Structure 1
Amino acid sequence: MTDTASPADEAGAEPAPLAPPAKADFGAWLAVAAGTIGAFMATLDISIVNSALPTIQGEIGASGTEGTWIATAYLVAEIIMIPLAGWLERLSGLRAFLLTMVGGFTLFSMLCGVSTSLPMMIVGRIGQGFTGGALIPTAMTIIATRLPPHQQPMGIAAFGLTAVTGPVLGPVVGGWLAENVSWHYAFFINLPIGVLLSCLLFFGLPPVRAQWHLLRQADWFGIAGIILFLGGLTIFLEEGEREQWFESSTIVAVFAMSMVGFVSLMIGQMLAERPVLRLSLLLDRQFGSVILMAMIVGAAVYGTSFIIPQFLSAIAGYNSLQSGQVVFLAGIPAAMLMPCIPWLIRSVDLRLLVITGLSLLALSCWLETDLTALSTGDVFAESQLIRGAGQTLAMMFLNQAALSSVPIELSRDAAGLFSTARNLGGSIALAGISVVQDQRMWFHQRRLEETISANSVIVQDYMNGQAASLGGMPTAFRALSGTIQTQALTLTYVDMFWMLTIGVIVVLPLTLLLRPLPKRRPLAEMAH
């Protein structure tokens, strides 16, 4: 193969979108396989460390608070890279860009696997986030440019399956490796996958000449703004509650950094001929509605994936592997639905699919509002299966709605904004969970304590019985305090599920603003 360049390249303009072939050859399917596996690897690594986090913290000498940065560092880097991926891909060419990202992801994974200190681990996770964040949006570009329109639904289904199952499979894989092998292999597992990916990309994608002249036209204010604003905002949301918000000088500095980034981003919107993140798209009624729904869906998906393992660990006494298996139930309906996605795209109204997805997502959260201190993983089985179907329909078809609501030449910008909104919704949800857990835990404890009267004969008889069986009144009081805390924590988790339920219901009317998908518009035109 030889490097190719269009006349537009010669003139210094941005190249036109590549047209897909009339029929996909073997190399095209190799490229699609590489894109979907890369997206799977990147989404898997978001959550693979969650189950093994206590073990990792102990071995590298990190405290509980410090250990949260192992997860946060990846999320911060990924949310910065996602909106930059399209510009970087145009700059260096798709094959060279992806080969670089896969190689970097593999090397940073190895660094995480051999880490002996927290700083070493954080550097590795930041590198994983930057390189892995590029693999998710570019998977759709491969499908768009390497498959003809009539075969693109099959590529979309394959991509959707890996993108949806990656986050729910992560805790299971990480928990099993930590329990049965070693936490190091949660990172070493990426080495053979990375080598396979590099081979698939090398043979499946044609080389394209780099467009280095685009550096002269780059929106440098916007690029700096994305790094400072999204990075600072994510850290602010993730760490704010733990650091007591503005009582911490670190949080004040991070907030100031994010505000400087926001100003820089706005300057880029006004001055750049082609902003790296085109926020003006949010003024479109349909696209703005899709972005709001994407944020809420991201909050519900990431929020429940965090709350359920926490509940099972704190209330039901589950270990990391058992909790991961409960979370993985959501992947079963996703796998079953994916073969139907091509038919759904062709045959069913987009609005009906999004309404169904959001309704199922709200129902799954509502089913978890009757939790008690005696609940175990079994009570989540029905809601997790419903959630898996709901998040698959909502995510897949909101993404299609985002791409179809903008002109062809702005579709890459729309895809970046959509992915950023989804991840930002997850960050807001995790920050909100920390706040709600502290505030509502205190509230419920006080309310429960007020219902227990020291002068009540029933209370006195109960405490005397507990003292007799537990070996003294001090032990009985400690047991009562533990019971109150358990009940208060259970009620707090119920409050969280109520908030997620209401949040999804609130955005449901926005589906009325959506338009049906264009029947004959190729994905290549929408995603490139």
Structure 2
Amino acid sequence: MSVGSSGLELHLVEEKADAAAWIAVAAGIIGAFMAALDISITNSALPQIQGEIGASGTEGTWIATSYLVAEIVMIPLSGWFVNLLGLRRFLLTVTVLFMVFSMICGFSTSLGMMIFGRIGQGFTGGAMIPTAMTIVSTRLPPAQQPIGMAFFGLTAVMGPIAGPLVGGWLTENASWHYAFFLNLPVGCGLVIFLLLGLPASKMRRDFLFEADWIGIAGMSIFLGCLTIVLEDGQRDHWFESSFILLMTALALFGLAMLVYGQIYAKRPVIRLRILFHRTFGSVFIMALVTGAALYGITYLIPQFLAQISGYNALQSGSVVLLSGIPMLFVMPFFPLLVRHLDLRIAIAFGLCCYAASCYIDSSLTAGAAGGDFYTSQFLRGVGQTFALIFLNQAATRSVPREFAQDAAGLYSAARNLGGSIGLALIATLLDRQTSLHTQRLFETVTSNSIEMQDRLRPAGTDILAIQSTIGSLYQTMIRQATVMAFNDMFYFFSVALVLIIPLVLILKPIPKNLPVAVH
């Protein structure tokens, strides 16, 4: 049976998905995981990559930034490309191109070649994230969608977490090149799954002639420039930099173009008006904050362990990966939880656990090591499981069916954009809080203070011994100030997560056993 909706052919899904549907879901999940993994897989290998391609530390940051910028631009545009090319043709195209660009990165001998490959990876990888949600919500019946969403939620959490660990292991045991070559066999398997699992569909060439080109250009300029501002703002001293000022101006110009397209285009590139839908607007805000926490904490813990505990990338990655373990235990029970647990209670519980885990980490000491993160990491894993997976459910079910692709794109973009915002806040606040705590510690330890006199007494009148003692005390205070700044960051994320908990009251329980439309 078929019905028409917004010019698209829709078919009601049977109550039990067939093998082809599950193969399609597997393809979507694998693609989303590849894209999420490649966001952070180069983090551990950056020093080696920079050395081989002749890039400085500042230039090397663009290896990660270029991927993120391109991905964030592509995520909300993917729905338009699906309508234009058809889901199968679009995913086959981006998968093949993702492998090509991965090979370009793996064989790179210069910074320009590497950045070109990473931009291509970002564009093609960014298309795989929201389309995975689309496949789950359109190829599976309501009773089986929770299983697909659970696996999609696993990619959203495990991708950024596993990236540094996988990249670090490959770099230390083989070469950084294999962090990119890994995508070739996985991509080949993905192509086979797509051919078997997704039905062919016709191109809609009328979308080319009726496209919201002003909105497409505006969204690309806005999201691209905004991400650059967030990623590089602190390093370039924010608005003291003419480059950051230019990017900010271009972002505002792009936003104006996007708004113009929303008002005057026959078919806007993405329907931003769903953001004003009370339920989806709440999901969008929660996705921003949880995205900031996911990427922010994934960055903070390795940085703390490297600077304070002397851990290498592989050791730090192992600690970060602990938060993924609770999800593996919860996933088998997820369909049962969706059937019997209220959506609002599940998300509120997840956010409470997430916030509590951050609060636990806000009392670290200079002697802390990986073991001090075990409790908080397991608690964080429980929080991420309930908050992120149930938010996935809420995102696609909080809008009418014809807006499902727009909702998937905006939700995925919100999570990644939230990650950029979180990392920008960390870069800014961590430096400022470290300076603030250093200054306060210096003010409490003067030449006449009891602590200073106690430390200097064994040195007697030996000038070299006195200088060594003062230098040692200085390093101790710097170290302590750094720990206090990290504690402030964990506390900041704890408060941010608590503040969004009331938004769950706006959400509605997911209706059960409704027919689902498939393109």
* TM-score scaled by length of structure 2: 0.96
- Partner SS, residue 39 of structure 2: helix
Listed as ranges, the gaps of 5+ residues in structure 1 are 1-5
Match of 1:244 in 2: 237
| Residue identity opposite 2:489 in structure 1 | M
Specify whether residues 467 and 331 from structure 1 end up closer, same or farther in structure 2 by C-alpha distance, changes over 3 A only. farther
Instruction: Among all aligned residue pairs of Structure 1 and Structure 2, give the percentage whose two residues are the same amino acid.
Output: 55
Cα shift at 1:245: 1.0
Q: Is the 8 A contact 1:19 1:145 kept in 2?
A: no
Q: Is the 8 A contact 2:287 2:411 kept in 1?
A: yes
| Residue identity opposite 2:432 in structure 1 | Q
| Residue identity opposite 2:356 in structure 1 | L
Match of 1:472 in 2: 465
Match of 2:137 in 1: 144
- Partner SS, residue 472 of structure 1: helix
208, 219, 225: which one aligns with 1:215: 208
Does 386-395 or 461-470 show the bigger shift?
A: 461-470
Distance 1:200 1:286 in 2: 34
192, 196, 203: which one aligns with 1:199: 192
Match of 2:97 in 1: 104
359, 376, 383: which one aligns with 2:376: 383
Distance 1:259 1:53 in 2: 32
Match of 1:134 in 2: 127
Specify whether residues 157 and 289 from structure 1 end up closer, same or farther in structure 2 by C-alpha distance, changes over 3 A only. closer
| Residue identity opposite 2:273 in structure 1 | S
Distance 1:470 1:42 in 2: 58
118, 125, 142: which one aligns with 2:111: 118
Distance 1:457 1:154 in 2: 63
Match of 1:290 in 2: 283
Alignment of 1:210-289 (within 5 A): 210-289=203-282
Match of 1:493 in 2: 486
Alignment of 1:448-463 (within 5 A): 448-463=441-456
- Partner SS, residue 392 of structure 2: helix
Cα shift at 1:274: 2.8
- The answer as to 2:76 corresponding to 1:83 is yes
Cα shift at 1:165: 1.6
Specify whether residues 255 and 484 from structure 1 end up closer, same or farther in structure 2 by C-alpha distance, changes over 3 A only. same
Match of 2:163 in 1: 170
Distance 1:145 1:262 in 2: 31
Match of 1:439 in 2: 432
Specify whether residues 321 and 362 from structure 1 end up closer, same or farther in structure 2 by C-alpha distance, changes over 3 A only. same
Distance 1:149 1:487 in 2: 52
Q: Is the 8 A contact 2:365 2:483 kept in 1?
A: yes
- Partner SS, residue 16 of structure 1: strand
Q: Is the 8 A contact 2:88 2:201 kept in 1?
A: yes
Q: Is the 8 A contact 2:289 2:497 kept in 1?
A: yes
Distance 2:207 2:409 in 1: 19
23, 40, 65: which one aligns with 1:47: 40
174, 179, 186: which one aligns with 2:179: 186
- The answer as to 2:60 corresponding to 1:67 is yes
Cα shift at 1:42: 1.0
Q: Deviations over 1:355-398 (max 9, x none)?
A: 01111110110010110111001111111111111112111112
Distance 2:105 2:174 in 1: 16
Q: Is the 8 A contact 1:73 1:122 kept in 2?
A: yes
Match of 1:427 in 2: 420
397, 403, 411: which one aligns with 1:410: 403
| Residue identity opposite 1:431 in structure 2 | A
Distance 2:429 2:462 in 1: 36
Q: Deviations over 1:24-79 (max 9, x none)?
A: 33322222221111111111111111111222222222222211111111111111
Specify whether residues 104 and 469 from structure 1 end up closer, same or farther in structure 2 by C-alpha distance, changes over 3 A only. farther
RMSD: 2.0
Match of 2:475 in 1: 482
| Residue identity opposite 2:201 in structure 1 | V
Cα shift at 1:470: 11
Q: Is the 8 A contact 2:326 2:381 kept in 1?
A: yes
The number of residue pairs the alignment matches comes to: 518
Distance 1:466 1:290 in 2: 61
Does 205-214 or 272-281 show the bigger shift?
A: 272-281
* Displaced runs of 4 or more, over 6 A: 6-9, 466-470
Q: Is the 8 A contact 2:153 2:392 kept in 1?
A: no
Distance 2:459 2:201 in 1: 76
302, 313, 320: which one aligns with 1:320: 313
- Partner SS, residue 317 of structure 1: coil
345, 356, 363: which one aligns with 1:352: 345
* TM-score scaled by length of structure 1: 0.94
